[in-house]
Amino acid sequence: MKNVHELKAKEKKLTEWSYVWHPIERGYNNRTLYVNVGTLEIKEKPVSQQMKEKFVGGKGFGLRLLWDATTPTTKWNDPENEIIISPGPIGGITQYSGAGKSLVVSLSPQTDSVMDSNVGGFFGPFMKFAGFDALEIQGKSDKDIIIYIDAINHKVEIFEDPGFSTDSHILGEELTEYFANDPKEAKNIGIVSTGAAADNSLIGMLNFTFWDVKRKKIRLKQAGRGGIGTVFRDKKIKAIVAKIDGVKPNLNNVADMEKITVPGRDYAKEMAEYDDIQNQMRKKGTANIVNVMSDYDLLPTHNFKFGSHKDAYKIHSDILRDKYFTQGINDACWIGCAMQCAKGVDDFIPKTGPYKGQKVIVDGPEYETAAGLGANLGIFDYDAIIEQNFYCDTYGICTITWGTIVAFLMECYENGIINKEITGGLELNFGNIPAALELLHQCASGEGFGKIAGMGVRKIKQYLIENYNADPNFLNDIAMENKGLEYSQYVSKESLAQQGGYAMTNKGPQHDEAWLIFMDMVNNQIPTFENKADALHWFPMFRTWFGLQGLCKIVWNDIIPPDNKFEKEPHKIPKHVRNYLSVWEGVTGIPMTEEELIRQSERVYNFQRIFNIRRGYGLRKHDAQPYRAAGPVTVEEYESRAERYDGQLKELIGVNPEGKTTEEKIKILRKYREEQYEKLLDAVYERRGWNKNGVPTIEHLKKIGMDLPELIEVVAPLQ
């Protein structure tokens, strides 16, 4: 760690802007903060009533501001591109669990379109308490800078980086010490930063800190998806810091606190009573499902080829609970959250890399990390998974993205598409832990084959086709990306609805829009295309709502009330949906129904779809999926589950598999599955009010109150 006193002596302020603070009114500041790091302009912008009605907050505000700031041809590294951070009207309350989330929106270096990424930690709520509903950063600096939002003196400052460390786990500690006048103030500081990889790759992510009172250390939560960390460093931002004078019970000045506290207390009671017999989120975090996913053949293994592995027991979640995660400690990433699932590994000692031999705290592994950096790479060793987790975090790399990239490269290596000559000596076989770690270090430093890996799956695929005559058909089948974003860590082959839940997403295949595998594949609750389309309407819209409000999705369905089984639609966890209606009304004073909740999301969801269309994407062809997401690509895959696939040939397609080669059977199954997916697109588009090309109809936009002239201009030629 650098000497903070020496850093302070070198501080050089570039600009300062003062503002008049006023209290939040029912969840809104009614203004946003604009910072141009190129021109050093800082100003506030009013939030109109229409902005609140149409875009609500969070991702909605981010999308609206980004649309207005950019043109259809703006590139991710143009000065016009922005990074917008916004929590939403409910964000920052402490009386209902999971209310510390922010949404980060930008044009992505990976997808060339709109990216959104949700994240916990302190910065979002602190920025809101400082007086702003969103932070909008534009421009490009020519030197490394720190943006400081000082909510005590009501100032925003930009100063030159006096020489802070680069990687987040150290940078966060340095900045906390730098801005805290005494150790008690550490809890009042929220930081956004990234790490070395964001300078040297297209997959950089952002870390948001939270202060762990018990451990007296900073912790890290990630806005991982789509390379927004790379945009951050392209603007030469080293960190953004917000400092407040403390969290008080009602900084949101809500309309009716009882409408929040009553369901909030009830929810906390559910967690206290039932978590231990349900998911054990407080003991295992989201990684509790690693073994469950393996049992249901859903744990991605060897680049999504398989859903389970004989060694999967070695990464059973009990091992994390019993050997790695510190127990009996409040691991909430925002104040007041009863879920407390941000588990951590204390005093972990990396065996490789720049921090080899040092004791560090590792945030996670969460499920996606354990699956992506473990099973998907053929690595069934928690020491290796946790070491990759630590380095991904501090280097500023999304663990989901990195897992899918390395899995793809390993399959390419095992198929001879790349070799030691190309990788610079790395033997990228599945399960090779030293090679996986070395590739990660190379990516962070922008050296060797790590530089290629840091381009992301889509660009690697193009690189291999252009430079090494790789078979484009095979690569397109096994490269687990859609829209330029890497898949998150679930095997979707046996759930048609989840295939749509992944590939029809606005930003790319992330499970935060819909997770329908159990409903579809196991429960058989949504057998018809109409059923699946209904699910692919309600769930993505409901889940979008969390990202408008500053809420965490996990809190909704990772604890189940005991009387849920008597509900008409138990899979929606209706009691918790009713809680959210009450919390919204409690904060804003505006009554809410489930229908209006879905409508709020529909407006923003359709806006994002049209934003994609405006940029030349967002059509049916962009919802295509790699065949690996839908079925067995290789003979090895088919034969590993031959009984299942042969049965489907007979029962679903009416073809007798006997006497046919595996290649012939793969071809027949593929034709069927691809036709099913096209039918799914038709059904879902119709349900969502879109035409056959995936374009929202003008009639639908009028119905949901989103017939804004700028949207009509985009969709009118495509009706």
Partner 1 sequence: MQITLNNKIEVFPNETLTIKEILELKKFTYPKLIVKLNDVIIEKEDFDSTFVKEGDNLMILHLLAGG
Query: From the CB of 560, what's the least distance to partner 1, in Å?
Result: 5
Q: Is 145 helix (H, G, I), strand (E, B) or coil?
A: strand
Of 167 and 512, the one with the shorter C-beta distance to partner 1 is: 512
- Residue 640 in the binding site for partner 1 (CB under 8 A): no
Of 517 and 714, the one with the shorter C-beta distance to partner 1 is: 517
- Residue 291 in the binding site for partner 1 (CB under 8 A): yes
Asked whether 178 and 157 are in contact (CB, 8 A), the reply is no
Q: 10 Å Cβ neighbour count for 296?
A: 18
Question: Among 107-115, 181-189, 238-246, 274-282, which window interacts with partner 1 (CB under 8 A)?
Answer: 274-282
Of 143 and 644, the one with the shorter C-beta distance to partner 1 is: 644
Binding to partner 1 (CB under 8 A): which residues in 471-490?
490
Question: Among 23-31, 131-139, 154-162, 553-561, which window interacts with partner 1 (CB under 8 A)?
Answer: 553-561
Taking the C-alpha atoms of residue 676 and residue 670, their distance in angstroms, rounded to an integer, is 10
Query: From the CB of 177, what's the least distance to partner 1, in Å?
Result: 32
Label each residue of 158-205 as H, E or C.
EEECCCCCCCHHHHHHHHHHHHCCCHHHHHHEEEEECCHHHHHCCCEC
- Judged by CB under 8 A, which of 177, 486, 512, 623 binds partner 1? 512
Q: What is the DSSP string of 92-143?
A: T-SSSSS---EEEEEE-TTTSSEEEEEE-SSHHHHHHHHT-S-EEEES--SS
Residue 42: left (phi > 0), alpha (psi -120 to 50), or beta? beta
At 95, the amino acid letter reads Q
Taking the C-alpha atoms of residue 471 and residue 477, their distance in angstroms, rounded to an integer, is 10
- Judged by CB under 8 A, which of 1, 213, 522, 716 binds partner 1? 522
Query: From the CB of 359, what's the least distance to partner 1, in Å?
Result: 29
Question: Among 207-215, 231-239, 513-521, 694-702, which window interacts with partner 1 (CB under 8 A)?
Answer: 513-521
Query: From the CB of 687, what's the least distance to partner 1, in Å?
Result: 19
Give the relative orientation of helices 662-688 and 496-503 as an angle to the nearest 10 degrees.
60
- Residue 574 in the binding site for partner 1 (CB under 8 A): no
Query: From the CB of 290, what's the least distance to partner 1, in Å?
Result: 12
Asked whether 226 and 104 are in contact (CB, 8 A), the reply is no
Taking the C-alpha atoms of residue 177 and residue 4, their distance in angstroms, rounded to an integer, is 7
Question: Among 398-406, 418-426, 439-447, 568-576, which window interacts with partner 1 (CB under 8 A)?
Answer: 568-576
Label each residue of 42-90 as H, E or C.
EEEEECCHHHHHHHCCCHHHHHHHHHHHCCCCCCCCCCCCCEEEECCCC
Residue listed under structure tokens 């009990």: 318
Asked whether 411 and 303 are in contact (CB, 8 A), the reply is yes
Query: From the CB of 644, what's the least distance to partner 1, in Å?
Result: 13
Strands 83-86 and 12-18, how do they pair? Answer: unpaired
- Residue 296 in the binding site for partner 1 (CB under 8 A): yes
- Judged by CB under 8 A, which of 277, 310, 347, 421 binds partner 1? 277
Of 4 and 342, the one with the shorter C-beta distance to partner 1 is: 342
- Judged by CB under 8 A, which of 95, 102, 303, 564 binds partner 1? 564
Of 156 and 598, the one with the shorter C-beta distance to partner 1 is: 598
- Judged by CB under 8 A, which of 525, 531, 676, 693 binds partner 1? 525
Task: Supply angle C-alpha 222, 227, 230, rounded to 5.
Answer: 100
- Residue 563 in the binding site for partner 1 (CB under 8 A): no
- Residue 515 in the binding site for partner 1 (CB under 8 A): yes
Those residues with Cβ within 8 angstroms of residue 390's Cβ, 6 or more apart along the chain or in another chain: 169, 348, 350, 355, 360, 362
Query: From the CB of 7, what's the least distance to partner 1, in Å?
Result: 37
- Judged by CB under 8 A, which of 295, 322, 466, 664 binds partner 1? 295
Of 291 and 394, the one with the shorter C-beta distance to partner 1 is: 291
Taking the C-alpha atoms of residue 210 and residue 676, their distance in angstroms, rounded to an integer, is 45
Of 169 and 284, the one with the shorter C-beta distance to partner 1 is: 284
Binding to partner 1 (CB under 8 A): which residues in 307-366?
none
Of 271 and 409, the one with the shorter C-beta distance to partner 1 is: 271
Give the relative orientation of helices 59-69 and 529-549 as an angle to the nearest 10 degrees.
80
Of 141 and 399, the one with the shorter C-beta distance to partner 1 is: 399
Binding to partner 1 (CB under 8 A): which residues in 648-687?
none
Q: How many chain residues bind partner 1 (CB under 8 A)?
A: 34
- Judged by CB under 8 A, which of 56, 206, 519, 587 binds partner 1? 519
- Residue 579 in the binding site for partner 1 (CB under 8 A): no
Q: Which residues pair with residue 397 across a beta bridge?
A: 204
Taking the C-alpha atoms of residue 32 and residue 61, their distance in angstroms, rounded to an integer, is 9
At 62, the amino acid letter reads G
CA dist list (Å): 494 to 298, 429, 516, 521: 9, 27, 11, 6
Residue listed under structure tokens 């997959």: 203
What mask, x for binding partner 1 by CB under 8 A, covers residues 227 to 266?
----------------------------------------
Which tokens sit at 603? 């407006």
Of 487 and 515, the one with the shorter C-beta distance to partner 1 is: 515
- Residue 290 in the binding site for partner 1 (CB under 8 A): no
On the CB side of 305, how many CA atoms lie within 13 Å of its CA? Answer: 19
- Judged by CB under 8 A, which of 570, 585, 642, 674 binds partner 1? 570
Taking the C-alpha atoms of residue 235 and residue 677, their distance in angstroms, rounded to an integer, is 40
Residue 696: left (phi > 0), alpha (psi -120 to 50), or beta? beta
Residue 189: left (phi > 0), alpha (psi -120 to 50), or beta? beta
Of 554 and 604, the one with the shorter C-beta distance to partner 1 is: 554
CA dist list (Å): 667 to 205, 399, 471, 477, 633: 39, 34, 18, 13, 9
Question: Among 256-264, 272-280, 621-629, 679-687, which window interacts with partner 1 (CB under 8 A)?
Answer: 272-280
- Residue 272 in the binding site for partner 1 (CB under 8 A): no
- Judged by CB under 8 A, which of 74, 557, 693, 697 binds partner 1? 557
Q: Is 209 helix (H, G, I), strand (E, B) or coil?
A: strand
- Judged by CB under 8 A, which of 77, 278, 445, 691 binds partner 1? 278
Using CA atoms in the order 117, 332, 515, 480, what is the torsion angle rounded to 10 degrees?
50
Of 120 and 618, the one with the shorter C-beta distance to partner 1 is: 120
Question: Among 103-111, 284-292, 386-394, 446-454, which window interacts with partner 1 (CB under 8 A)?
Answer: 284-292
CA dist list (Å): 447 to 296, 432, 454: 39, 19, 10
Of 152 and 560, the one with the shorter C-beta distance to partner 1 is: 560
Query: From the CB of 362, what's the least distance to partner 1, in Å?
Result: 19
- Residue 286 in the binding site for partner 1 (CB under 8 A): yes
Of 567 and 585, the one with the shorter C-beta distance to partner 1 is: 567
The conformation of residue 299, written as its DSSP 8-state character, comes to: S
The conformation of residue 704, written as its DSSP 8-state character, comes to: T
Of 472 and 570, the one with the shorter C-beta distance to partner 1 is: 570
- Judged by CB under 8 A, which of 103, 479, 533, 554 binds partner 1? 554
Q: Which residues of 516-554 are buried (b: 16+ CB within 10 A; e: fewer)?
A: bbebbbeeeebeebebbbebbbbbbbbbbbbbbbbbbbb
Of 360 and 517, the one with the shorter C-beta distance to partner 1 is: 517
Of 181 and 524, the one with the shorter C-beta distance to partner 1 is: 524
Of 183 and 647, the one with the shorter C-beta distance to partner 1 is: 647
Binding site for partner 1 (CB under 8 A): 277-279, 286, 289, 291-292, 295-296, 367, 490, 511-512, 515, 517-519, 522-525, 527, 552-554, 557-558, 560, 564-566, 570-571, 573
